[in-house]
Structure 1
Amino acid sequence: MIRLVDGVPAESLPLADRSIQFGDGVFRTLYIRDGGIPFWQRHMAKLAHDAAALGIVAPSPEAWLADLRVHATASATIKLVLTRGESPRGYAVPADCTPHRITQIASPAPTIDRRAGITVRVCETRASWQPRLAGIKHLNRLENVLARSEWSDSVVFDGLLLDRDGDVVEGTMSNVLLLERGALLTPRLDGGGVAGVMRDVAFEAATAVGWQAGEARISLQRLRRAERVWLCNSLIGLVPVARLGDHSWPVDQSPVDSLFAERISACAAQETVWLV
């Protein structure tokens, strides 16, 4: 793995960095394929939005691209981390706090067999409720760590996090999508969760194939009644869910399903930034 801090190869951060002390920062995970980064501008817009929500000034997209053009390989997994910077002990943010830009470049993620669909489970760990942080991909991911520690069975691809009312929020590493009577729905993220890039892309693709798209309260009962269920994030794309406990969904694609997947692929091709 290649690690850069503010564009310079490094293997450590100062112990005073607020990401270490408090998880004070934001991040994005994305990939390079054949020298191109799909949805680059969307990722940069999300990063800047999330940073601004925490009062952190994001570096320009060109600064991140400069790191990647020098050090990245043609195919890789990328994690971009923005910390608020260093400060003494205590929660108060000093006026002279300078953000740190961290770039991690790793091997490509393993491929997924989408034909069979994936298996998910329900986590006992609940998603936290904090409207001010809702949708933001911040560095406080401890509940995801605890939820992911609940299983070791490699058959289970991801776990679903429920809110305090028992409604579905997201997967530990993914957003949830479901098809219900010609509408693509995803859980409402007004109290917590992460609004991922692929979630937005899927909404646009759904509209393009004639489906309605929107957010809703999704109980486990409603999820089980759905015609189709998918998980999505920027590394896995869109993956059909086949099983949750003793419940199953079809994963064979109808013509409209195929058109939906093709539209997402077309969006990725259109919105790729090339490193060379």
Structure 2
Amino acid sequence: MLRWVDGRPSETLSSLDRGLAYGDGLFETIAVRSARPRLLEHHLARLADGCRRLSIPLDQALLRAELLAFATQLGEGVAKLVVTRGDGARGYAPLGAATPRRLLFGSPWPSYAPANVSQGVELFPCRTRLAEQPLLAGMKHLNRLEQVIARGEWQEPRYAEGLMRDMSGRVVEGVFSNLFLVREGRLITAELSRCGVAGVMRAWLLEQAAEQQILVEIRDVDYDELLATDEVFLCNSLYGIWPVRRLEGHVWPAGALTRKLQGILRTLLDF
């Protein structure tokens, strides 16, 4: 596996790193195709927003250069970028003089079943609920324990993803995906000011919807509305769009708007 620490190949990480000790940092999972990082600007924008909110200084130009060089070496696969606050002393208080650390890990392209795109997937109804913390909502911070617990709820290969809801039972997202509903030709996706991750594919699809003059609603979604909607699909920066065909006995078709967006993805991003 290709590994870089602060722009150089390395197999070691300081035991004082605050990302390791406290989850004090952020990460991005970036698709690399033909030695180019896909959706790079969206990844960098989300990372910059998260660093601003966590008060972690970020050299955007340096990071961009490192990512492009890393993608050139990786060629094809997945680049995981981790930015931590850097080393620190024992205790929660962040030190103002800490130097942020940049970690890059390369891995092979994941093996997803082709039928997930063409035929759709079945969702597992996760019991684990997302806690509500507006200070962290939307960010892809390093603490993913809710997702770890949720993903441990099922082992059956029939489920490609799990549905996650908040403490009030509102529909939020998948364990590693964002979720869209289609109702009477409109796109509906959860509002993420309390919890959840604002995915880069979600952001890209919202931009495409605006260009295509597709009406979009970003708001709270309850479970009954999900079951009554016309189409459901998941999105992620690695696999693109998966139609959802089944959840707890409820069945949806891979409808016209889902297929239209899949076509746009194939045309513009070569999914």
Give your verdict on TM over 0.5: yes
Is the partner of 1:80 in helix, strand or coil?
strand
Aligned partners of 2:241 and 2:97: how far apart in 1? 42
Q: Which structure 2 residues correspond to residues 14-163 of structure 1 after superposition, within 5 A? A: 14-69=14-69, 72-113=73-114, 114-163=117-166
Runs of 4+ in 1 over 4 A off after TM superposition: none
With structure 2 as the length reference, what TM-score do the two structures score? Answer: 0.93
- What runs of 5+ residues in structure 1 fail to find an aligned partner? 270-276
Alpha-carbon contact 2:179-2:235 (below 8 Å) kept: yes
Q: Residue 94 of structure 2 aligns to which amino acid in structure 1?
A: V
Q: Residue 106 of structure 2 aligns to which amino acid in structure 1?
A: I
Aligned partners of 2:183 and 2:253: how far apart in 1? 13
Q: Residue 157 of structure 1 aligns to which amino acid in structure 2?
A: A
1:258 deviates by 3.6
Aligned partners of 2:166 and 2:87: how far apart in 1? 33
RMSD of aligned C-alpha atoms? 1.7
Aligned partners of 2:63 and 2:209: how far apart in 1? 33
Q: Residue 5 of structure 2 aligns to which amino acid in structure 1?
A: V
1:87 deviates by 0.6
What does residue 241 of structure 2 align with? 238
Q: Deviations over 1:2-61 (max 9, x none)?
A: 111101222231111101110000011011112222211111111111111100112324
Aligned partners of 1:209 and 1:67: how far apart in 2? 31
Count of paired positions: 267
Aligned partners of 2:258 and 2:165: how far apart in 1? 27
What does residue 212 of structure 2 align with? 209
Q: Residue 45 of structure 1 aligns to which amino acid in structure 2?
A: A
Give yes or no for the alignment of 1:226 onto 2:229. Answer: yes
With structure 1 as the length reference, what TM-score do the two structures score? Answer: 0.91
* Structure 1 residues 204 and 67, CA gap change in structure 2 (3 angstroms): closer
Alpha-carbon contact 1:27-1:137 (below 8 Å) kept: yes
Is the partner of 2:224 in helix, strand or coil?
helix
Q: Residue 263 of structure 1 aligns to which amino acid in structure 2?
A: I
- What runs of 5+ residues in structure 2 fail to find an aligned partner? none
Taking every aligned residue pair, what percent have the same amino acid on both sides?
Answer: 36
- The one of the two structures with greater contact order (alpha-carbon pairs below 8 A, sep at least 6) is 1
